[in-house]
Structure 1
Amino acid sequence: MLGPRVTMTEGQGLPVIQSDDPRYLLHLENKKRNVFVTQLGEGREDEAEEITCIPVIREPASTILDTSKNTLQKTLVLKKEVEFDDVSVQFLAKRQEFRERMEMAELRKSALATKQQDNSDKVHKFEQFVKDNNAKRRNAMQKYQVEVKQNEIKKRELEELTEELEVLKVRKKKLQKKISKYKTYEDYLIKLLYNLPENYLEPGIDAPLKAIITRHETLASTNQSLIDNLIALVDKQESSQRALATLQREHDTAKLMMNSELSQLYKNYDKIQDKNKQLEMNSNLSKGHFRYQSVGLAQLFLAVTNLAEQCYMHHYGPLEEVTLMSKLDMIKEYILEKMQVLQISRKLTERHPSVSVPKSQTQKSRAASIK
């Protein structure tokens, strides 16, 4: 069997397989093997010697070569060399593919570096553009703020001038009304001036016109003094009204403070009343408890007095003059004495069983000890 041969040429990426390599020649020997026959065939033994049996192989060649006992070492080596050549071809192909991919990666890297440089230039230009825009925006904002302030100032001035113009218009109307009102007097005075003689103002000339003028001057000065008094009185009235308003505010403030203090005093009064009620209830409870205690003490004193009468000893003096503590001591001494007598009687009975203590006496001693 003739196998391919792999050769490498410089300048080429893939190897070339040659078919005349003796290493890839596979020699198989025709060997006879026994055939198992399931039918009777007499007289076929001679024919079987001339028959060459070819086995039917259903397993792959690699499995047969690896597992067969009749496979030659040379064949296995040849198989491994073929596998090695295949792997070498694949390796060289992968290497060539890796080189091509590296070249593509280098090209992409250079393109990416160029693109990054372009992007960095664009970013730098954009940042410069943003800085310029920010500077322009700041300048525009400053200019806008200055213009807004100037507009506000101009608006205030315009409002003031408008108010002043309105006031002047009102004054003009008033003056026009006055002019129209005193126009008749003006006309009368002008006619009068035309009709007056030329020397009416010379001294020494007594004319009725001079008296009229003097009277008019007197009335004018009186009118002016009255107007001044009226203005002074108006100012005084306004100051009095302001003082009255101030006093009213102070009065309202003082009234509020007094009301708050009064409400606080009412609260304190209510608290004191509640406290007094609680104290009164506690006092009543304590009185009832004290009364109960006094009754208990009286009963206790009476019981102590009765016991003292039963346990009276002469060396304590008259019973009426003995104090409470002395009565208790007397009762104690009496009980101890009775107990000693009882103990002595018991000892006597234990020593002399024939001597018996009267039953009435033992009962009395027991009753005395219990008391």
Structure 2
Amino acid sequence: MGSDLEERVRAAFRDKLQLLKIPGKEDDFLPSACHLLEKRRELAEVERALSAKKEEFQMKMEELHGRRQELEHKERQFKEAVLKFDKFLKENDAKQKRALCRATEEQRQASQRGPEAERLRQEITRLQGVKETLQQRLSAHKAFPEYLRKVLETSEQFREIPELIDRFQTLMSTQASLAQRELVAREAVEEARARLQRYVEESSNQILQQNNQVAELQSRLDEIRTRVLEGESNWICIQNTAANKTLELGQIKLATLNLFQMVAKHRAVPADVPVDDTAAQLEAVQQCIVDLTDILADFRKGEPTYIPQPELKAASHSEPEPS
């Protein structure tokens, strides 16, 4: 029924779309396009409403199906109960007839036997009490057959009371089976939930281990960074020391070159020594100082009075130690 209603709505909307006039110009197309969008929106709303109605109808059908199954199950049970009750009544009537026959026979024989007749009268009294009890039970249970007949009158599915009772018993059996399936499903859900809990715990432990490893690696990284910073600091210090040493060496070489040039200017020293050969320059300066020292010693032997020589003294003080 829901599919027929949906098809009718779609067909009506399709007919309305076919009746729409397609504009010939672009300016006339905009209102029609807006109208088409509006119709599409209305169609979407109708489809949503239709889907909601279909879901509601499906839920009602499922509920009715469940109630029908439950009623059929109860009907089968009731049918079985009525059959059993009818069987019980028939057996009871048969017993009652047999008891009456036996009582009649015993009454006949009671005329011949006195003590036996008294016993039989007591048995008859007891059986009459049982009969009254059974009649009361029969009167009390008469409402059930009448109810079953009314159910058969209102229902077109069943023709006889045994069919109704069979259907009721089937519904009861189905209910028990569904209850068993539900129990199995619940146990499966509990087992799946336990597995999920174990998986979550294992995942949490793995995540914790990974976090610990990350923290350890981060600590190692910080330590390595600290070492790198220390190494870079030491390297900078080494570079600064090397620069200072290089500067000092350059100053020494420059001073040595100045001394050599002074010596070469005032003394007859060969000037073919390379500029970067500091050792040869120092040797030449040293040789010049030795010569000057010898000359000064010879001069002091002949002249007791000491005459200082500023240039040589200054040169001797600025002379670095030979490398």
Alignment TM-score, normalising by the size of structure 2: 0.42
Structure with bigger RCO (C-alpha 8 Å, 6+ apart): 2
Of the two, which has the highest radius of gyration?
A: 1
TM-score by length of 1: 0.37
